Chains A and B, each alone.
Chain A
Amino acid sequence: MIPQSEPLLTASDLGVKFNERWVLKHVSFSIRPKEIVTLIGPNGCGKTTLVKTMLGLLKPNHGSITKAADLKIGYMPQRFVIEPTLPITVSRFLKLSNNNLDEQEELFHTLGISHLQKTELQHLSGGETQRVLMAYALLGKPNLLVLDEPIQGVDVGGQIELYHLILQLRDYLNCGIFMVSHDLHLVMANTDRVICLNQHICCEGKPESVLNDPAYLALFGESAAHSLALYSHKHDHHHTLAGEEKI
């Protein structure tokens, strides 16, 4: 077991650039065991780039990622395109994560995918694919679950259901969760810590009760006005339309 004090994963001064343009700069944070951390930020702020760097899919141009010795990541990708020429059922796919599916009935039942075991992946709906991918991630017995916009392509009722599922599963699995979201309302009300990203970390901390921060609205634009801004923080700088930082 990892001692409670030692982080599962630490990012130190990460910088990533594409074509000479920095997409991420000076990003430092850590995730502790059993913690739910939510990463939010407007489109194009570098959320997916940050996740890819954490997972080792991208090499940072600056800084580093330190992982705990027994870190086991379960990853639920944002997009999952199934090649139609590849015939594969849900249970065959899940066996790629864990060969022994015999005692997983409870997990499949919780996720509502018991009846889908013999279905081919390409015939699943968006929501079913998400739940199968969740099962895939969990079957590897991770101590850190990374979910990239887990509620994409799922209707509102499904979103809430999946969200409850995530909370239920945290106790069941004893793992930390790093979640990427642009749905501020749902995610922020249930998370331990929020990291707000716009190329760099704008702010980070515990979500608080409803507060209306103009700077927060400025960052997230009009869509934020329609959702509850549960999290408040102070901005010491502004962003131009291109997202560049002005102190």
Chain B
Amino acid sequence: MEEFLQRALLGGLGLALIAGPLGVFIVWRRMAYFGDTLSHSALLGVGLGFWLSINPILTVMLVCIILAISLVALQSNQKLASDTLLGILAHSTLSLGIIVVAFLQGLRVDLFGYLFGDILAISWQEVFYIYIIAAIILVIIIKLWRSLLLSTLNPDLAVVAGLSPRKLQIILMLLLAMVIAVAMKIIGVLLITSLLIIPAACARNFAKSPEQMAVLASIIGMIAVSLGLFASLHFDLPTGPAIVVSAAFLFLISRIKS
């Protein structure tokens, strides 16, 4: 296997591995649109990273975290429905991101790559980042599994058990911001959420327990990444969309089977 392909496959599998357990919480807690809004803002982070000559992974995380916190603050002031609010922020931050990137003179930023992913162009360093982030996220999710599960099932019971659903919500958002930062290069800001929710939705049809659903979502995500990568190579397709279409194909099959 050629080296660029090894990198792409390793990076994609690492991403699918963490997208599983995080994705099930996004599905259970109905945060899909929220995740979409955060990932749309990632391009703004890329622009800032290039502008300030900082690693874009860091600036993307920072922008996502700031956006997540302001969303929570805005949502508590319920004058607008939260999907309206998310819609406003998703598209205005995306547009702002595109404008910032367009303003970067003398720097050729591959906009299409950031929007839809360019997994074949990732470096060993980026693969390394993916596994670092994956390890951190897995450790946190496993450690907090019971608390996250209880506060997802019923926040009131979680409070009575001495947990803080609000803190857990913020932790999930931080994890989401981390995943978006590393996923952007692989699958693109416009498609990240699909890698979180499609495998999880697919796993729901087979899972008998929350734990099974998380593990199955990881496996299904990995299959989708491999299929997408293969299709992309053989039919010369854009890889990000090829991975998403593969995931959607698996979801369809799971629906027909169940």
Hey, which bits of chain A sit against chain B, CB under 8 A? 52, 55-57, 73-75, 77, 80, 82-83, 85-89, 92-93, 96-97, 136, 140
Contacts and interface: CB of A to CB of B under 8 A. Distances in A.
A73 B146 contact: no
B82 interface: no
30 contacts: A55-B156, A57-B156, A73-B160, A75-B157, A75-B160, A77-B156, A77-B157, A80-B154, A82-B153, A83-B29, A83-B30, A83-B152, A85-B27, A85-B28, A85-B200, A85-B201, A86-B28, A86-B213, A87-B204, A87-B209, A87-B212, A87-B213, A88-B209, A88-B210, A89-B208, A92-B209, A93-B153, A96-B146, A97-B161, A136-B157
Interface of B: 27-30, 146, 149-150, 152-154, 156-157, 159-161, 200-201, 204, 207-210, 212-213
A247 B156 CA distance: 37
A85 B156 CA distance: 19
Nearest to B201: A85
A55 B156 CA distance: 9
Given A73-B160, A75-B160, A86 B210 contact: yes
B139 to A, nearest CB: 21
Which residue, of A80, A96, A136, has the highest number of chain B Cβ atoms within 10 A?
A96
Contacts of B200: 85
Nearest to B207: A87
A135 B20 CA distance: 31
A179 B250 CA distance: 49
Chain A contact residues, majority secondary structure: loop
Contacts of B154: 77, 80
Contacts of A77: 154, 156-157
A180 to B, nearest CB: 14
A96 B149 contact: yes
Given A92-B209, A92-B210, A96-B146, A86 B153 contact: yes
B159 A56 contact: yes
B224 to A, nearest CB: 19
Contacts of B212: 87
Contacts of B159: 55-57
A89 to B, nearest CB: 7
Contacts of B27: 85
A87 B84 CA distance: 30
A56 B213 CA distance: 32
B208 A87 contact: yes
B163 to A, nearest CB: 11
A38 to B, nearest CB: 20
A77 B157 CA distance: 8
Contacts of B152: 83, 86
The 8 A-B pairs at the shortest CB distance, nearest first, are namely A75-B160, A86-B28, A87-B207, A85-B27, A96-B150, A83-B28, A85-B204, A57-B159
A169 B60 CA distance: 54
A136 B201 CA distance: 28
